[in-house]
Structure 1
Amino acid sequence: MTTLLQKKYQHKVILVGEEPHPPYQRPPLSKNYLTGEVDQGSLYLKPISIYENAGHQLRLGVRVVQIDRNNKIIRLSDQSTLKYDQLVLATGSRVRRLNAPGADLKGIHYLHDIADADNLRQQLVAGKRLVIVGGGYIGLEVAASANKSGVDVTVLEAADRLMQRVTGPEMSAFFYAKHTDAGVDVRLNTAVTGFEAGEQGCVTGVRLANGGIVPADIVLVSIGVLPETALAEAAGLPCDDGIVVDEFTRTADPAVLAIGDCTRHRNLLFEKMQRLESVANAVDQARTAAATLMGERVPYKSVPWFWSNQFNVRLQMVGLSQNHDQRVVRGNPSDEAFVVFYLQGSRLVAVDAVNMPMAFMVGKKLVYQGKDVSVEALKDPSTELKSLA
């Protein structure tokens, strides 16, 4: 919608959203919004007046319940209907729920939207015991935020290292040390089997597969998300762990586009279709969708990138490291400024940088270019990274 505003799109645009808020940034929900350092208004991408002055309409607090593709009509939860010429699905994702005894007790939280963050923030009082189930980005960001607020934090991760799905062992080890040094109790290889209840149905503990119980006043379950594809599936659109779209963000129906976390998409930088949970991906796909709506043929070709802020550390990641066959570390983790390069053969496919923005920026160029890179040059601190790009 923002890109259409910039492009001076001449047709009427209606945004339908189940939440009562205009479009907003979600990353701060686990960080400075959770700690109260920024207010709700600062999350909004644009003031509502900007949309209204452009002639666009926001239908907030209402949900789309059905898409009638034959008649190009959507039906809403308030019983009203809207006609469309072009429809963009930006349904995002939903949190993965933990199916375990006691999972519905009071005091067990998930974090996905402003309301979730508000509810959790009210509970994060100094001296309380917070148990986080899951050692991924969100769980660790909340752990750092809560620790900063004086909360007693325990992180339970079923895998043998933190952020295992998205990064290599060097980064996992660094963030494990960072959290434990700050006083966070991080337990790896620790599976959760259920929750203990106290008076009035409130959670008092987390049961572990090894038979132990971790006392808790508050629990955050942070075990990932699932693409929100129910609307698309009900409308007969092809879905495969995401709504399937081409490099122009078009679904099988040329009148329906889809963008963001809900899509399995074609990115011309990769051979295989991808589904990514990333703000950058959602923004870049939105630009492609806007171009498609304007009649421009601009295929999606963007390097995936991600970031995470934990304590005084900024982790910036670019590319997809899952299929690398070699890692090169430059710098010293103990200095809290280092970078890990991931290669397939001699081609750079991903970069993880801690407090090294230049390495991230150069890495982004190199991954996009797909060029061969000298391993020795990557290792050698006397080689300027900019020279490699």
Structure 2
Amino acid sequence: MPETATAPTVATAAPVPGLAGRASRTGASPVREILALTARPEVISFAGGLPAPELFDAAGMADAFGRVLADRPQQVLQYSTTEGDPALRGIVAERATGRGLPTDADDVLVTTGSQQGLTLLSTALLEPGDTVLVEDPCYLAALQIFSFAGARVVPVPRDDDGLDPQALDEIVARERPKLLYTVPTFQNPTGRTLPVERRAAIGAVAARHGLWIVEDDPYGELRFEGEPVPWVATFPGAEDRTALLGSFSKVLAPGLRLGWLRAPAVLRRACVIAKQAADLHTSTVDQAATAYYLAHADLAGHLERVTAAYRERRDALLAGLGDALPAGSRWNRPAGGMFVWAQLPAGYDATELLPSVVEHDVAYVPGAPFFAGPADAGAMRLSFVTHSPEEIREGLRRLGAALR
């Protein structure tokens, strides 16, 4: 008789190993979660820093993609070098030189958004336990990146003009940090711009104590008024120790996911190796199309249209905040960028108020998650770029009704 097959006995499966500590200690971005909460089309959201989609030069970008795909498809659809498209790097270098920072194409690494540049710098510079100094409040994704690196984050005291150079000097001497991270122009979340004399002081502190500076500038070209302020990287003491990050997300379109990193050779080479391990290189066709667009389109005219629209939207937001927010509230008047920073009076908690505000089909981002130090419970970030002036006025009417 044939033997009867029997099913093998399966022992109870052992649990899989746990997540890395960095994954457990780093939370999701509150901004991204609020964006999901407010995705309904009827919601007027001041929460996300989303560039106005109707201002994208879709026709110009479509022409650029069509041209590079027609002219050299085998090249632009192929693997490429980690450092990036030579033409795009050359254009970035030329534009940086035009803004007062002499730069060659070889000084530039193209990244998948400027946020990847910050991740690469963190990978290249930080060991677990290293100290990082940040503005307070600080760009949320930077706090996530430094958390993943296992860094110890220390906030630098600030005032209405941004971080305090004297406090920075004292903290650097005491804490011996590896780097300072700053968004000195139209900062996220506050919209503040660091004055020239404070930028010079940062360079002097870094040179005196030995410190890397990471200068993030995604918003600098979105200026509505006043004169441009030189990059920190241009000041004495900062030249040989500043990594400058830039982005095409705000001037062209965030969906391209294109940014760039300019850094001293040793640090840039380490970032190239880190990028090889991360994604080999940034999208070849996106780089080629963007290089074509920048070489042939009227970027200055495009930026003029964008900044004119954003200026009008900022003014609409500022004009209505007095009626929308409780008496005793404070807010600033940014000269560019995408954000207004508001502070409700004592006794108000912007995080606790948000669910009831969303019920009125309007939203903002509470300020508390942006702080590395003690949080201001009444703070909120309001983005003015996504909606038209008419929608902004209606959103403020809803916000006022919710807060009352």
TM-score range, shorter chain: 0.3 to 0.5
Please identify which structure carries the higher strand content.
Answer: 1
Larger RCO of the pair (alpha carbons < 8 Å, separation 6+): 2
Query: Taking structure 2 as the reference length, what is the TM-score of the superposition?
Result: 0.32
Higher-Rg structure is 2
